[in-house]
Amino acid sequence: MKRTLFLLFFICNILIVQAQKVVEPSAEKHPEWSRPFPPFQIAGNLYYVGTADLACYLITTSGGNILINTGLASSETQIIANIKALGFRITDTKILLTTQAHFDHMGAMAAIKKVTKAKMMADEGDAAVVADGGLSDYDLKGDVRTFTPVKVDRILHNGDSITLGNMKLTLLHHPGHTKGSCSYLFDVKDNKRSYRALIANMPTIVTDKKFSAIPSYPGIANDYAYTLKAMKGLKFDIWLASHGSQFDLLGKHKPGSPYNPAAFADEKSYYDEIAELQAEYDKKIAAK
């Protein structure tokens, strides 16, 4: 009897350990996700430090720096090198943020948090997923974690302010893609003017299932509808997104190009893309 109980205990422990493994989904179909891209100044104290498609942003302030997104787990050294190439220290990072709790934006977050000891702040809808490494993600939910869990130091809600030094960012709750997908709106300045900057999490539909077939996210259809409506009313001077391909990074900035905030002021492309996503949503709803 004791031997049987021991074996059951041993097997259960093995299953628990396996369930806690981090297995990052393959990114072979997206080589651009890990392809290096030279860091550059977007506007004022806002910099691009990501890869050719997984957008990561550094915002420098008088009280330290803010890093938004980290790409894949393998991107850790690349992001740190990009920040250093711009003349900044990774250890000056005080706040970590993400636009969505998916492995392609959270992969290196735990490692960078360990290096910087920065505070991780997450939208209320994604806080649990950030903390469990993707286990509770409504679409990628499975038996393994898709990224290393990150302790959440502050839970953010729609309209909350994130302040550091001379900077204030406003979090915009834009759920659908994930339960806590979010965008950030803030002002940056150079020696000529101030820019209202938007880092938008575009509400692409990540699931092939019917919305009604996702019991773990019963409000998904309403969340997408809310987000699309909210994003149509945003005003900004320059805009960026979670993926470089969403705002035509490679077309707007060539490596070595001179400083040019105006390249990211393409307002029409933003509203055109939102209109396309609205059409995609309407088509999915109609196919019930």
> Which pLDDT score is estimated for 241?
98
pLDDT band for 15, please (50, 70, 90 cuts). very low
In the block, tokens 């209320």 appear at: 124
**Cα–Cα distance between 173 and 182 in angstroms, integer?**
5
* Threshold 0.85, pTM exceeds: yes
**Cα–Cα distance between 186 and 176 in angstroms, integer?**
22
Average confidence score pLDDT of the chain: 92
Longest dimension (CA), the chain: 79
Rg (CA), the chain: 20
Worst-scoring range by mean pLDDT, 2-16, 27-41, 62-76, 151-165?
Answer: 2-16
Contact between 125 and 180 under an 8 Å Cβ cutoff? The reply is yes
Indicate if the pLDDT at residue 64 is higher than 80.
yes
Q: What is the DSSP letter of 3?
A: H
The first and second tokens of residue 243, run together, are 């993926």
How does pLDDT run across 73-121, given as a tens digit for each residue?
999 999 999 999 999 999 999 999 999 999 999 999 999 999 999 999 9
- pLDDT (average), residues 265-269: 95
Q: Residues 6 or more apart from 185 whose CB is under 8 A from it? A: 169, 170, 172, 196, 197, 198, 234, 236
> Which pLDDT score is estimated for 20?
65
The first and second tokens of residue 254, run together, are 């060539």
**Cα–Cα distance between 205 and 207 in angstroms, integer?**
6
Which residue type, as a one-letter code, is found at position 238? Answer: I
Domains of the chain (ranges plus CATH)?
A: 33-286 (3.60.15.10)
For 76, the enclosing helix (H) or strand (E) is: helix 76-85
Query: Integer distance in angstroms from the first to the last C-alpha of the chain?
Result: 54
